[in-house]
Homo-oligomer: A and B are copies of this chain.
Amino acid sequence: YRMKAEIITIGDEILIGQVTDTNSAWIARALNGIGVEIECITAIPDQPEAIKNALDAAANRTDLVMITGGLGPTKDDITKKTLAGYFGSKLVRNEAAVKKIKEFLTLRGVELSNLNLDQAMLPDNCIPVPNRYGTASGMWFKKNGKDFIAMPGVPYEMKSMLTDHILPELQKQFDLPVIIHRTIITQGIPESHLARLLSDFEQQLPEEIRLAYLPSPGLVRLRLSIIGREIRKTEQMIQKALYELMTLIPEYISGLEDESIEKVIAALLVEKGTTLATAESCTGGNIAHLITSVPGSSRYFVGAVVAYSNDIKERILGVKKETIEKHGAVSEPVVKEMASGIRNLYQSDYAIATSGIAGPDGGSVEKPVGTTWIAVASACQIKAEKYLFGDLRATNIQKASVTALNMLRKLIQSEK
């Protein structure tokens, strides 16, 4: 049995490009994780005709239709009436939903309005799906042997609804297959050359397994995907293919796509019971932000000094005035002094320091925009590297942050 699904996003904000639809990718990953394949992702405006047509088309080609958006207090009018009409039901006041909405608003000290009460009007033939983080209820319909589930578009409301209620229920109701993806990141070889090296491998793959190429700036991802019945056997098959693939191109593999670098760092520091602090100039606190986005980071992250001025670099981090005068703030000696400075000040085991020209201003002929010095330090060593990223500010900040964390990973692993 294979279950096909379509994701429909309702909202003018998607169609004018004001909001990027990130929900669909999240839902696709979540459904794939329990063995559901996505056939199509569709975004449509808040209009009854568009909604009805999209539901018809989706029901025609798939078994499960996931709908997001159109359920906020100012919007649910059109969506709910259209859904009620489509599924031949009428809107009735759901007392359990009224109670939940009242509790939800009271807890947050928000006065109840008629629009909130309207959110408790639900089609009488749907199963309501609880919303832990908002006032819009989810709705699960069944029609002609197909399932239709409408969820709010606010990402964290939708995510908890899906994770806590919908996925477990789908797994209970259906005997779903196993879908696994494994992705290798390659660097230093163009897509067309990789394809030539791997053409025999690709032709000999079992038919359950597919290989895909995903190029992006500076790297090519290679993804193996499999659909199987039994989890252990399916895992073994893809693992075997993955291993064969890796032995064919070992010199081009830079990593597996799995865990973010901040989680890798977290595991390394927790394992050794060590601590980290950052001294950030060009990254402006973004490294600290990435580190502290990991739950439990207070166990190993002491804190940061964002030193956006030379004065702070000198007074707080103890960088010598002469060093800045002689070499400039974006230089190897300064970034090294920043790294030792923060290690001493915050008494951490490891330290990261950054100093660069994020742009768009501040570049020169010798130090163009994108020039970045990064240092990582432990009790035994300080390493510094210079990078030349590019001319986009946001990209420079992100690249410098990820590169710095990766340098720290290598430093920690070299001391194991």
Contacts and interface: CB of A to CB of B under 8 A. Distances in A.
Given A40-B43, A360-B295, A22 B20 contact: yes
A17 B66 CA distance: 14
A144 to B, nearest CB: 20
A73 B191 contact: yes
Interface in A392-406: 392-395, 397
Contact of A195 (B29, B73, B312): B73
A193 B305 contact: no
Contacts of A135: 192
A45 interface: yes
A192 B113 contact: yes
Q: Which of A28, A74, A154, A156 has the most CB of B within 10 A?
A: A74
The prevalent SS among residues of A at the interface is mixed
A89 interface: no
A377 to B, nearest CB: 17
Interface residues of A, number: 112
Q: Which of A283, A295, A304 has the most CB of B within 10 A?
A: A304
A320 B298 CA distance: 20
A108 B388 contact: yes
Interface string A184-200: 00000011111110000
Contacts of A24: 17, 21, 43
Interface string A23-52: 011111110100001111111110000100
Contacts of A196: 113-115
A312 B301 CA distance: 11
A213 B74 contact: yes
A214 interface: yes
Given A32-B17, A43-B40, A295 B359 contact: yes
A192 B306 contact: no
A42 B42 contact: yes
Contacts of A26: 17
Contacts of A13: 212, 214, 223
A350 to B, nearest CB: 14
Given A25-B14, A306-B285, A392-B133, A74 B38 contact: no
A192 B116 CA distance: 7
A245 B62 CA distance: 43
22 contacts: A14-B28, A15-B38, A16-B28, A16-B38, A17-B25, A17-B32, A18-B25, A20-B20, A40-B44, A40-B54, A74-B213, A113-B195, A115-B192, A115-B196, A135-B192, A284-B289, A292-B358, A293-B393, A293-B397, A295-B360, A295-B393, A303-B306
Given A72-B191, A133-B390, 13 more contacts: A13-B223, A16-B28, A16-B29, A17-B29, A18-B181, A20-B22, A40-B50, A72-B213, A286-B289, A286-B292, A292-B397, A293-B397, A316-B346
